[in-house]
Homo-oligomer: A and B are copies of this chain.
Amino acid sequence: MKPKKRTTIYDIAEKLNIAASSVSRALNNNSIINEETRRLVHATAAELNYKVNTLASNLRKGESKTIGVIVPRINQNFFSNVIAGIEEASYKKGYNLIICQSNELREKEIQCVNTLINQHVDCIVISVSAEGGDYAHLQSVIDSGIQLIQFDRVAKELETLKVINDTEQISMKAVSHMIEQGYKRIALLEGPQNLDIFKQRKEGYLKALKKHHMPVNDELIVENAWTKELGAEGTKRLLNLPQPPDAIFASTSDFSALGVLEVALAMGIKVPSELGICGYSNEAFTEITSPSITTIDQFSIDMGKTIAELFFKEMGKDASSRKPKTIRIKPSLIIRASTNRKDKK
């Protein structure tokens, strides 16, 4: 099969007429090995094009120097940015990433978790799928003694490390901003309420209304509008109400905000003067639509780095002293044209 067997420490040992253990120690610059033999071993290793077998090494050492990452979709801006952040920070420490996508499916998520446990990863980083259900599979990660870090979409009942955005607070800020811009009837496009992050976005919306003594109007709340198409659909319904909204907080995503914008423009409704729009995520395109879309930046790359750093920091501790811990990253409201009807630059 393989063309030639790969060189092992035994090959080096044989060639130099020393023991494999000495070769191992020499290669790890480890123990108190004679400088001369150390040099010899390294030279021979280079000559024979030796590469360690990480599998063997990890098996023996009982670690894998690998972090498993499970996200709903790899090719979603937010997630790919988080992954990029994790990768950058872990690579520096000599850790590799195994990436899986759950496709928002519980069943596949369970499969991924099992694969990663079998791979003996040192840590599993996960943003749970939207499908919901119980979290026995995540519990079993913990039981296996593998560090579990949840981010963004977290199962809050599980006592693990968590890295999340301060979602409620920023949502409140976004809606307050719209109120301050003079919008009176603000609608909400909400996401699946079994995911905490969407619940919190709604909560922020409600709190902002309450704080400004504005009524909550159920007909202005549209469920499950988290794609561009669903956002557009919901918007049509909203704008055809007897009393249509004068602003829409697309709390699910910028894509749904885009749907809102397109429908509004198609119906000849002026943004932001007649309709304010705020999205979520700061996708690249929000900056360049016309008008540009107000949105929320989640600092996704930083989030990735934070996750990796958290893992390395907690790594030393043994299981008994592991405590659940939540790191909040403050997102930032990016005010653009789509909600800006007062301040002219």
Residues on A lying within 8 angstroms of B by beta carbon are: 1-4, 6, 49, 51-56, 58-59, 62, 64, 66, 73-75, 77, 80-81, 83-84, 87-88, 91, 96-101, 103, 108, 114-115, 117-120, 140, 143-145, 258, 262, 283-285, 288-290, 301, 318-320
In the complex, A322 Cα to B206 Cα: how many Å?
63
Q: Given the complex, which residues of B lie within 8 Å of A75, measured CB to CB?
A: 77, 80-81, 83-84, 301
Copies held by the complex = 2
A315 to chain B, nearest CB (A): 10
B117 and A101 form a contact (CB under 8 A): no
A101 and B87 form a contact (CB under 8 A): yes
> Can you list 17 contacts pairing A with B, beta carbon distance less than 8 Å?
A1-B145, A2-B145, A3-B143, A49-B140, A53-B120, A54-B115, A54-B119, A55-B58, A55-B64, A55-B120, A84-B101, A87-B100, A87-B101, A91-B101, A91-B108, A96-B119, A285-B289
Q: Given the complex, which residues of B lie within 8 Å of A285, measured CB to CB?
A: 284-285, 288-289
B64 and A73 form a contact (CB under 8 A): no
Please, which residue of chain B has its CB at the minimum distance from the CB of A289? B288
Q: Given the complex, which residues of B lie within 8 Å of A59, measured CB to CB?
A: 53, 55-56, 59
In the complex, A118 Cα to B55 Cα: how many Å?
8
A143 and B49 form a contact (CB under 8 A): yes
Partner of A1, one of B6, B58, B284, B318: B318
B54 and A118 form a contact (CB under 8 A): yes
Q: A80-B80, A118-B51, A290-B290 are in contact. Are A74 and B100 (CB under 8 A)?
A: no
Q: Given the complex, which residues of B lie within 8 Å of A97, measured CB to CB?
A: 98-100
Q: Given the complex, which residues of B lie within 8 Å of A6, measured CB to CB?
A: 144-145
A118 to chain B, nearest CB (A): 4
Question: What 4 A-B pairs have minimum CB-CB distances, sorted nearest first?
Answer: A285-B285, A2-B145, A75-B80, A75-B84
Known contacts A51-B114, A91-B108, then 11 further A-B pairs from the complex at CB < 8 Å, ordered by chain A residue: A1-B319, A4-B145, A6-B144, A53-B120, A74-B80, A75-B83, A75-B301, A87-B100, A258-B288, A284-B284, A288-B289
In the complex, A77 Cα to B2 Cα: how many Å?
35
Q: Given the complex, which residues of B lie within 8 Å of A83, measured CB to CB?
A: 74-75, 99
A139 to chain B, nearest CB (A): 11
Q: A55-B119, A75-B80, A96-B115 are in contact. Are A2 and B91 (CB under 8 A)?
A: no
